């Protein structure tokens, strides 16, 4: 549970424990496992180094992307009938395009265009600029509320996964304007 600098003797003992098969879990990691959140105030450069070192390299760079692309392709084909119905609902419920595209920043700062079903009125950010949506946001259409509730608006993102631009599981690709804000507030956000 020690979140500040650890004494060298403690580090040696923890290493000995680890070599003897005892699993060592620090407080930020345990907190993340229990809550699904990272305690930003308690992470430091050593925590980040541990995360990077412990990640399986081959799996993350080769196996996971291939599995995700194949899985996304299968899902996309199976969901074509549902996508046709959703597209018709969007078109009959509001004026504008069926799909919504937006520039996002993915892994290693690569820009790409994310595609989703449109859930808001056309040009929803024309007057407000880049803002997060809130509960009962008046810009969200009736069909959009349903799509967002069941995450159906995100089905077209399977194309982004198939193109290798994003992952089925992993950090959410965000807009550049928000990334700059997060990098100032969240330690190691870019990593």
Rg (CA), the chain: 21
Q: How far apart are CA 118 and CA 1, in angstroms?
A: 45
Residues 148-155, mean pLDDT to the nearest whole number: 96
pLDDT at residue 172 greater than cutoff 80: yes
Q: How far apart are CA 35 and CA 42, in angstroms?
A: 15
Q: Mind listing the pLDDT tens digit for each residue in 33-83?
A: 899 887 777 777 766 767 666 666 677 778 888 999 999 999 999 999 999
Residue 173 CA: distances (Å) to CA of 34, 69, 178, 182 = 24, 17, 10, 12
What pTM did the predictor assign? 0.73
């Amino acid at each position: 549970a020690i979140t500040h600098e650890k004494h060298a003797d403690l580090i040696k003992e923890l290493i000995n424990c680890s070599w003897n098969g005892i699993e060592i879990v620090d407080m930020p990691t345990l907190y993340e496992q229990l809550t699904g959140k990272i305690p930003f105030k308690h992470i430091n450069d050593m925590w980040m180094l541990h995360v990077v070192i412990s990640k399986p390299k081959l799996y993350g760079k080769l196996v996971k992307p291939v599995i995700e692309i194949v899985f996304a392709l299968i899902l996309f084909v199976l969901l074509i009938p549902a996508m046709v119905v959703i597209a018709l609902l969007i078109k009959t419920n509001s004026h504008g395009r069926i799909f919504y595209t937006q520039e996002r920043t993915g892994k290693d700062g690569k820009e790409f265009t994310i595609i989703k079903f449109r859930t808001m009125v056309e040009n929803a950010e024309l007057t407000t600029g880049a803002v997060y949506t809130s509960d009962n946001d008046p810009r969200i259409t009736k069909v959009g509320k349903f799509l967002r509730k069941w995450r159906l608006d995100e089905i077209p993102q399977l194309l982004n996964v198939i193109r290798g631009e994003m992952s089925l599981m992993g950090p959410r690709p965000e807009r550049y304007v928000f990334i700059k804000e997060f990098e100032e507030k969240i330690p190691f956000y870019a990593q």
